[in-house]
Amino acid sequence: MIEGFYFGAVRAGLKESKNLDLAGFYSDIPCYVAILSTKNSFKAAPIIRNNDIIKENKFIRGLIVNSGMANAATGEDGYKDACSMCEIFAQKFNIKENETLVASTGIIGKRIPLTNIRDSLPLLKKSIRPDGYKDFAKAIITTDKREKIVIKQENGVTILGIAKGAGMISPSMATMLCFIFTDLSVDRDYLQESLYNAVSNSFNIISVDGDMSTNDTVILFSPFKNEHNTKKYEIFKRLLYGVCFELAMKILEDGEGATKIIKIRVSGNISKDDCKKIATAISRSLLVKTAMFGCDMNWGRILAAAGASGVNIDPFNVSLIVNGDMIFQRGKVAPYDEQLANVKMKNKNIVIELIVGESIYNEYIFYTNDLSVEYVHINADYTT
């Protein structure tokens, strides 16, 4: 897929299932990396360890990822375990420990069984191959129903994106892991800036359940070469956004028990920050999300969520449009075809538009999904 990049995965016995649960990435040449991670105060040990490594080391050549255990809220022992995973991987692949990154996902509070990791590394190394990214994607999922892979190519630039995530998804960042690989050599600063912009308009504008994970990480790898083809930077930036946005939509589609994707557009003569507050409030309303699941045009729940956002809204200067139908205007319900509106509520894609004021100066678009009975079952039984 990308020259010099190799991927693999094995079953290390980290999950009760017999599925793959340990993945690895190795590069023939050093890579620049850009990283964005969760703002949760209870950051998982791998995130802390990676941030420490990036400060002291320019280049990365390896990555080890496990599913089943998050290695979060595990104290100093958890940090040592994250370091040990990198050390074990580095020794097997004959690279330096500080050239290796680590990521984990799964149940919070459980330590990684290092014996399983060590015993599995010989098989993991044997599994490494250029097209092994499909197994890599399978190994990192937890409650996901399917692996998430997006590949984009244009004018000699290739970007491969692999992600996992279905629940515990909320902005800053959207439990989510995402690993992106490009064959274009990109300056380190431009790489970080491009990733920030792409994530801001993809993973940071989605929410499944409003819960921010302890482990969210996006890592972008670019091979280091002495010369950078800056003429292709704009292509790279556009493809990177496309990869991130498609992966974000795949996460929403796979949201635990989700049956619909809901696009929320808030606009008007208010600030962009206020538009964001209103859109986020609507996306996090359990009453709105359950109404969407039930195909119920309960528009009052949408207005109630917007009104509770903390933004000063004049009810007599608000318009609500759902799936193209004007539902509410100038302080009261608008005349609309209820039968047709209810039929549209059965669509997989729902569009909610809220306009505050007569003029539109700013807008904010946010995506979420519905909340089903399956979501409750999955998360009620997750650790048992």
As annotated, the active-site residues are 175
Closest CA to 26 of 1, 61, 54: 61
In this structure, what DSSP letter does residue 213 have? P
Strand segments (E) across the chain:
5-10, 22-37, 60-69, 100-107, 148-154, 157-164, 177-182, 206-207, 217-223, 261-268, 318-322, 325-329, 332-333, 349-356, 362-369
Q: Do residues 199 and 19 touch, judged by C-beta distance below 8 A?
A: no
In this structure, what DSSP letter does residue 129 have? B
In this structure, what DSSP letter does residue 130 have? T
Closest CA to 250 of 351, 374, 365, 144: 144
- Residue 30: exposed, middle, or buried by beta-carbon count in 10 A (0-12, 13-18, 19+)? middle
What is the side-by-side order of every strand in the sheet holding 318-322?
206-207, 362-369, 261-268, 349-356, 318-322, 325-329, 332-333
Backbone angles phi, psi at 88, to 5 degrees: -60, -45
Strand segments (E) across 212-251:
217-223
Helix, strand, coil percentages, rounded to 5, for the chain: 35, 30, 35
Give CA–CA dist 25/9, Å, rounded: 9
DSSP string, 348-373: SEEEEEEEESSS-SEEEEEEEE---H
